[in-house]
Amino acid sequence: MIGENVEIVGSVNVADDVQKRIKTTGVRGLDIEKARELGLFQRIANLLCVSHATIASAYRVYGGVDYLVSEINARKNDIAHEMNNFERAFDKFMKFWTDYYSNGKTGKEVSFETENLYHHIMEWMQMPETWQLGEEQRTKSLREGCIRIDLPDDKVFTFYKAELNHELVGEPKETWGVFCYDPKTGKQTSVNTDMDKASALMVAKRLSDENPDNIYSASIIRDLVEKRTEVMPFKAFKANETVGKITQ
């Protein structure tokens, strides 16, 4: 999952709302139309959407804390007070967005966006998504070719596989294909490959007419031959002792 993109959904609607609110407020010397053409409102909207997804995903992470604290019956007095304050602030923030961001069809897309980002965060931070008492606190690796070393004071250092000297060999080979995107599941699947441009365009258009709920794309499929140098950590030593070794 690391390296995959997280889609920002609903940002166009948010940009319209941001423009409306700023225009209503009235900002002296601001040319609304010029600002819109230069992408000011869309940029603000994109950042708000990223902020929303990040905070919602963080709240999902916090859910693990809430569950464990409740399980040991420790949600009392000051602990309960601060946790309740956080939850009320989160509810207020989310309610502010529902009017123009996460309502209607967009709501499902926002949930998918948050879920996707949550998985990215947990993998990036090397945190197991499911955990039981006594189990390892950290996942062993982020990806292939990773050595995690436990240092004093609960610190961790990680060696990663490095990729060097990317170089294309020969000319890319291009074909065309048709792919289907299902908005309900957020998944894209291959329909046809090894096609020419005209056929791909024709098939994508026809399928979109037969199945109007899905989105069909005619896409270029480019095969590349690449020469690449990889540096793969295998074992790490400190003071003549093995302190880490490859985990995958």
* Per-residue tokens: 22: 């700023």
- Predicted local distance difference test score (pLDDT) of residue 79: 92
- Rounded Cα–Cα distance for residues 60 and 112 (Å): 13
Q: Which of 19-33, 195-209, 219-233 has the highest mean pLDDT?
A: 195-209
Q: What is the value of pTM for the model shown?
A: 0.54
Instruction: Report CA-CA distances (Å) from 218 to 174, 181, 212, 222.
Output: 13, 11, 16, 13
CA-angle at 242, arms to 239 and 244, nearest 5°: 120
pLDDT in tens, 135-147: 777 776 545 556 7
Higher pLDDT, 129 or 208: 208
- Mean pLDDT for 205-232 is 90
**Reported confidence tier of residue 198, pLDDT bands at 50, 70, 90:** very high
pLDDT in tens, 163-197: 777 788 888 889 999 999 988 877 889 999 999 99
Q: How many CB atoms lie within 10 A of CB 199?
A: 15
pLDDT in tens, 56-92: 888 888 988 999 899 889 888 899 999 999 999 988 8
Domain spans of the chain, in order of start: 11-124, 171-224
Count of helix runs (H) and strand runs (E) in the chain: 6, 9
- Predicted local distance difference test score (pLDDT) of residue 180: 93
Q: Rounded to the nearest 5°, which phi and psi values hold at 38? A: -85, 0
- Mean pLDDT for 9-28 is 78
Terminal CA-to-CA distance of the chain, rounded, Å? 16
- Predicted local distance difference test score (pLDDT) of residue 247: 54
